[in-house]
Chain A
């Protein structure tokens, strides 16, 4: 198993390349999903606000 992680002496290069790729790709997933959630929250607030305004007038 140690041999696998050592990557024939190139372990630091190989794993950092894979690590950075994983971070960037996972980050894009999280950011996209968070942006979607935040948009939905904003829209709900907006529509609820409009409904209240309609009710008052």
Chain B
């Protein structure tokens, strides 16, 4: 028999509870994401008028800007979860941080690649060592460094703590990315949406962008729930509740 089942139940209750909650929420989040993607794509690729300067090439904005925002949002989520993990040693926050990393890296990669594809026709270059681009590239290396660290350390809880320290140190890069277009004279255009008061973007262009940002956010949430559930089962694999759940078969899970 496994010794861990004799330990107090509350120790596992939060992961068990979250697993059940997440299972129930998952399909709703996934459908929400799909319901935002459809009008976002139709609006962005079709209904929004072509830009008066950039023509139809500006439509790349609908994948580029949400990817770039997610690259920052996921990093901040990881930094927040990392701080909680270091201070209170909460397992769930370690799991959220670890499960987010490769998604953050994916979105950073997409922000860089779609930006490069957009830059070629507009700036005449695939890449420039501009402050915004360079700091976003450093963000990609931070994600990859975090992932390498997780793979290198066998003990998950030690790996999570080391990763949290790395993420918190790297967080200094986040304001640099955000303000790079204001602090330095960059080739990258300035903010058009987040400017306080009146965004300098046409409403017919803005609505699909907001829909796509919503779609990307819910997409992240949907994938995160799947990964967190798997990590929870893996973390708690020696407990009775995981054993019961897994052995109950696909319908019981």
Contact = CB atoms under 8 A, between A and B. Distances in A.
Interface of A: 4, 7-10, 13-14, 16-18, 20-21, 24-25, 28-29, 32-33, 35-36, 39-40, 43-44, 46-47, 54
Given A17-B114, A18-B60, 6 more contacts: A7-B59, A9-B56, A29-B223, A36-B227, A36-B229, A39-B230
Interface stretch (B115-123, B130-138, B200-208): B115-123
A24 B64 CA distance: 13
Contacts, number: 86
Task: Please indicate which of the listed interface residues A21, A24, A29, A46 has the most CB atoms of chain B within 10 Å of its own CB.
Answer: A21
Contacts of A33: 226
A16 B113 CA distance: 10
B106 A28 contact: yes
Nearest to B106: A24
B55 A13 contact: no
A15 to B, nearest CB: 10
A54 B243 CA distance: 15
B226 A14 contact: no
B223 A10 contact: no
| A-B complex: 7 closest residue pairs judged by Cβ atoms | A8-B56, A7-B56, A10-B57, A21-B63, A17-B114, A8-B55, A36-B230
A13 B246 contact: no
A31 to B, nearest CB: 8
Contact of B227 (A18, A24, A32): A32
Contacts of A7: 55-57, 59
Interface string B145-170: 00000000000000000000000000
A43 B242 contact: yes
Interface in B172-227: 219, 223, 226-227
Nearest to A20: B113
Contacts of B67: 21
